[in-house]
């Protein structure tokens, strides 16, 4: 920490010495600073950094802008600063936010340094749909000339750039053979296959635009390059698998290098192929067995990491394996800006960071199209009745996707099983509720209209009786459960969703075992025993027969409440 503080302090003093220009702003901000004003400075400094060919600019709190003295600031604590990233992202172009927010100390005086990324090429940064700029220390609207200058910038495709001194000798022979075979399978035309077979490697690569003037493109090295020559791309491309145990303790890891045409096989081959068992049908105890992670989903996400990664800033593609989830991440911005946009059928990406790389991956059957596969991976999890993947992109230098390998709220699972007709937007909102995340008033009203949720904001939860038609098919079980709920409310502080499901399942299948209850509810047998003890103590359930051969039943006094 002392070393980092010293490095940041050196940067701070250098900025003070040079003093303010269009890409640096100092504010005292003794204890507060308006969010809207921060947003305006964010837009202005981001746009000015782009116009000057810089990667970032600074907004700094804790420095007097007249005396240039470091006076310190009490602006927010560390947790509040992390929240600031999210708050700013809500109203900026593409949900951009700070690259980093750092606290630095000088003789006990705390300074907050906010690092602002330059506007994306050809896309000026707005705050609340207004573009800001600076002239000296003055903050105002971005001039029409500057706005046109940013919009008129030509976006360079990094993956298309040629590498001096490169040749076919720098490629991996096996990867090149895979590329030829995949290309022929993709086109599926016998006469084209014969033409490809007759071509030299240079002719084939030139045909698909991975070579030009006898030189390899960056895309060629990424997909087909020999690991011995990965330094032709700087910084070299890397991928890593990491295994985490309980409490996220690191257990194992392995790093992978180019060629990336085979890296997905190598990465996913490291993931444990565990079987997960659950009961998706509310009215049956038939257990479904499936692998924790769908292979096509993981391939889609990893291949999209390859296609959309920002190779110019370094870093790795990571596949982190936890006990109940995978986390897949890569350096770069989340280009759509928000998931809500992507879920609309008409959505198309504003641009592709590595157009040639993405187009080539389509030719090699690595991805279906150059478009992002977010809707595809959502549908896969929806059809498995699993939680939807989570995209995290508040940090503008990295995008993380979490893929869940277990169910969360069995009411969510039951609803998806019974209602395959629900579109992705509806499932997306329902998924947010099961993860206890906030949804808008209009969204909550929509879910209530379908009888899918109960509770009051912000404590919404998925309803266990989401469909009146389902109640009738269950028969008397619904009445018993209502009575049980009333009785439990009087004897236990609050009946939870797990206990409610257990009661329903016991009523429907009196001879069910603890193991089957655990599989149906989606929690451990130990937790089932604990909840069963609570229900027994409350007089809701009773044990009939011996501990070994008996079964659980709803008590007679509960039935009498009907």
Q: Could you tell me the CATH number of the domain that includes residue 523?
A: 1.10.10.10
Which pLDDT score, from 0 to 100, does residue 412 have?
95
436-475 CB burial, b ≥16 within 10 A, e <16 = eeebeeebbebbeeebbbbeeeeebebbbbbbeebbeebe
Residue 424's domain comprises 410-462
CA distance 301 to 376: 10
Which pLDDT score, from 0 to 100, does residue 115 have?
93
- CA torsion angle for 463, 468, 472, 474 (degrees, to 10)? -20
- Count up the domains in the chain and report the number: 4
Nearest Cα residue to 373 out of 264, 258, 296, 310: 296
- Same domain for 143 and 161, yes or no, is no
Grouped pLDDT means (10 residues each) for the chain, 562 residues:
80 83 89 93 94 88 89 89 88 87 91 92 91 87 90 83 96 97 93 93 97 96 97 94 89 96 97 91 83 94 92 90 95 72 65 85 83 81 96 75 94 93 93 93 93 91 66 36 42 58 75 77 78 81 74 62 31
Counting Cβ atoms within 10 Å, is residue 153 exposed (0-12), middle (13-18) or buried (19+)?
Answer: middle
What are the C-alpha distances in Å from 199 to residues 175, 177, 207, 443? 16, 12, 10, 57
- Same domain for 64 and 163, yes or no, is no
- Same domain for 262 and 373, yes or no, is yes
203 falls within a domain: yes
- Same domain for 344 and 441, yes or no, is no
- Same domain for 338 and 357, yes or no, is yes
CA distance 76 to 83: 10
Which pLDDT score, from 0 to 100, does residue 476 have?
37
Which pLDDT score, from 0 to 100, does residue 548 have?
67
Nearest Cα residue to 96 out of 69, 116, 75, 111: 116
CA distance 244 to 249: 5
Neighbours of 17 (CB within 10 A): 8
Neighbours of 328 (CB within 10 A): 20
- Cβ neighbors of 503 (< 8 A, separation 6 or more) are 480, 481, 484, 535, 540, 541, 554
Are 386 and 302 a contacting pair, CB within 8 Å? no
- Same domain for 419 and 504, yes or no, is no
Are 394 and 89 a contacting pair, CB within 8 Å? yes
- Same domain for 328 and 417, yes or no, is no
Which pLDDT score, from 0 to 100, does residue 207 have?
96
359 falls within a domain: yes
- Same domain for 273 and 172, yes or no, is yes
Tokens representing 16 are: 């003070």
- Same domain for 130 and 269, yes or no, is no
């Amino acid at each position: 920490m002392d070393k980092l503080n010293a490095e940041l302090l050196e940067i701070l003093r250098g900025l003070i010495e040079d003093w303010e220009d269009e890409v640096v702003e100092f504010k005292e901000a003794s204890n507060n600073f308006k969010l809207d004003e921060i947003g305006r400075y964010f837009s202005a400094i981001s746009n000015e950094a782009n116009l000057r060919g810089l990667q970032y600019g600074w907004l700094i709190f804790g420095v007097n802008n007249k005396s240039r003295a470091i006076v310190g600031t009490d602006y927010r604590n560390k947790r509040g600063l992390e929240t600031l990233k999210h708050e700013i992202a809500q109203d900026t172009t593409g949900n951009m936010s700070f690259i980093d927010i750092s606290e630095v100390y000088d003789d006990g005086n705390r300074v907050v340094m906010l690092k602002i990324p330059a506007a994306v090429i050809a896309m000026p940064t707005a705050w609340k749909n207004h573009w800001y700029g600076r002239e000296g220390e003055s903050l105002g609207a971005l001039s029409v000339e500057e706005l046109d200058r940013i919009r008129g910038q030509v976006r360079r495709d990094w993956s298309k750039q040629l590498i001096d001194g490169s040749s076919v000798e720098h490629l991996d022979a096996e990867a090149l053979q895979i590329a030829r075979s995949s290309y022929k399978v993709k086109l599926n035309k016998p006469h084209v296959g014969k033409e490809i077979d007759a071509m030299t490697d240079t002719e084939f690569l030139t045909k698909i635009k991975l070579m030009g003037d006898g030189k390899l493109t960056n895309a060629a090295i990424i997909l087909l390059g020999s690991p011995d020559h990965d330094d032709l791309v700087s910084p070299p491309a890397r991928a890593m698998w990491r295994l985490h145990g309980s409490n996220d303790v690191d257990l194992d890891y392995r790093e992978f290098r180019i060629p990336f045409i085979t890296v997905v096989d190598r990465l996913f081959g490291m993931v444990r192929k565990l079987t997960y068992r659950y009961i998706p049908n509310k009215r049956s105890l038939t257990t479904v067995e499936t692998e924790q992670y769908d292979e096509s989903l993981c391939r889609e996400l990893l291949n999209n990491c390859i296609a959309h990664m920002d190779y110019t800033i370094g870093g790795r593609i990571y596949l982190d394996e936890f006990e109940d989830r995978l986390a897949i991440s890569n350096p770069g911005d989340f280009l759509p800006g928000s998931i809500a946009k992507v879920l609309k059928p008409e959505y198309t990406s504003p641009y592709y960071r590595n157009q040639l790389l993405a187009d080539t991956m389509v030719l090699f059957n690595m991805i279906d199209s150059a478009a992002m596969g977010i809707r595809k991976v959502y549908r896969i999890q929806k059809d498995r009745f699993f939680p939807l993947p989570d995209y995290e992109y508040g940090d503008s230098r990295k995008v993380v996707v979490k893929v869940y390998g277990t169910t969360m709220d069995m009411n969510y699972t039951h609803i998806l099983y019974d209602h395959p007709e629900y579109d992705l937007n509806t499932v997306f909102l329902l998924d947010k509720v099961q993860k206890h995340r906030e949804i808008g008033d209009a969204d909550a009203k929509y879910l209530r209209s379908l009888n899918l949720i109960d509770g009051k904001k912000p404590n919404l939860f998925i309803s266990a009786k989401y469909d009146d038609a389902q109640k009738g098919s269950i028969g008397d079980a619904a009445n018993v459960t209502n009575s049980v709920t009333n009785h439990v409310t009087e004897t236990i502080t609050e009946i939870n969703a797990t206990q409610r499901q257990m009661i329903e399942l016991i009523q429907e299948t009196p001879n069910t075992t603890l193991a089957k209850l655990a599989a149906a509810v989606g929690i451990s047998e130990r937790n089932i025993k604990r909840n069963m003890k609570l229900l027994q103590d409350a007089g809701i359930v009773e044990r009939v027969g011996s501990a070994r051969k008996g079964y659980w039943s709803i008590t007679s006094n509960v039935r009498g409440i009907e």
